[in-house]
Amino acid sequence: MSNCILLGLVQSLMTSKVVLTRKRAKVDLVQCELCGCWSLKELHEEVLSERPRTSMADKDAYISALEQKLAELSGIEVDQIKKNQLANAADEARVIGEMAAYVASITVQRAAEAQVGLVSPQIADIYSYINAELSEARGAHVLPPLKYDYNALEPHISGTIMEIHHTKHHQAYINNLKAATDKLIEAEQNNDVNAMNALLPAIKFNGGGHLNHTIFWTNMSPNGGGEPSGSVADAINAEFGSFQAFKDKFSAASVGVKGSGWGWLGYCPKNDKVAVATCQNQDPLQLTHGLVPLLGLDVWEHAYYLQYKNLRADYVKAFFNVIDWSNVNERYENARKAAGH
């Protein structure tokens, strides 16, 4: 288990009832010299005062001392917390692994044996959405680079989470999407409509995962936060009455997602209005609600658990500190233009 994860735990504890009983009027954070993660300044300094560090060789001793302080502060066994975190990561890996196995299990019939029928239009729609966002041809899917360092969003979103989320989870969706696309092409060559439609759940899940995460990365910035400006601000005020009213509705919807999914601010081309919506799992917003995605928040536990544990509401609150409203405004203006407004 990474030491960064342990230090991320300290930040999640700062909002818990255990810490609040210490009656701190203000909580200060400090960045650890060892791994770059953020911790409670008081706890960090308390550990250092008892065990001064002179080199990186003391790293393990420092972490051990921090674990002891965590146990004293929270009454929670750190080993058990680590086990819970590992179990959560394993569960996410299981879901992705099961989808990969599902794709592999689909057998394409030979052309002479394949049954003719109607192919679900959602298959083409998903690839169309991906192409519109990334200019990627079907099957030519790659992990988009971030425009900022993994630790650039700290202390709001830890660098450890960002790196794992981007290089592991997003990459896994891409790998599965490419495998599903290869199988889809084979089915098309044999005119096996049953196999094509059987691939829809995998294309929807992994294609949606690729699309949603790509939007998510661009929606955030180290210089983000604050309130929107420009035409999207006018649209938000017109629809919700105020930015605060929008923030409350978006937050409540995102926190309230059952299980895994996404919270969204989208644009309705038909009504020329913005709206808040949620989607389960990796379902694309446009496919599900007919809304063009403007702002997306990943509320799968892999996006926040290592830092915020089960405090999804705190994660949602922190997200508003890194929103790149210029990106959201640009998406809004492009969507209106495409709709002819």
Closest alpha carbon to 304 in 141, 149, 115, 164: 164
What distance lies between CA 80 and its chain's CA centroid?
25
CB 280 within 8 A of CB 260: yes
Instruction: Give pLDDT tens digits along the chain (341 positions).
Output: 444 444 444 444 443 333 333 333 344 444 454 444 444 455 555 555 655 544 444 555 655 665 565 555 545 455 554 555 455 555 556 666 666 666 666 666 555 454 557 899 999 999 999 999 999 999 999 999 999 999 999 999 999 999 999 999 999 999 999 999 999 999 999 989 999 999 999 999 999 999 999 999 999 999 999 999 999 999 999 999 999 999 999 999 999 999 899 999 999 999 999 999 999 999 999 999 999 999 999 999 999 999 999 899 999 999 999 999 999 999 999 999 999 99
Q: What is the pLDDT of residue 179?
A: 95
Per-residue HEC secondary structure of the chain comes to: CCHHHHHHHHHHHCCCHHHHCCCCCCCCEEECCCCCCEEEHHHHHHHHHHCCCCCHHHHHHHHHHHHHHHHHHHCCCHHHHHHHHHHHHHHHHHHHHHHHHHHHHCCCCCCCCCCCCCCCHHHHHHHHHHHHHHCCCCCCCCCCCCCCCHHHHCCCCCHHHHHHHHHHHHHHHHHHHHHHHHHHHHHHHCCCHHHHHHCHHHHHHHHHHHHHHHHHHHCECCCCCCCCCCHHHHHHHHHHCCHHHHHHHHHHHHHCCCCCEEEEEEEECCCCEEEEEEEECCCCHHHHHCCEEEEEEECCHHHCHHHHCCCHHHHHHHHCCCECHHHHHHHHHHHHHHCCC
Strands ordered across the beta sheet of 261-268 = 273-280, 261-268, 292-298
Other beta carbons less than 10 A from residue 282's beta carbon: 23
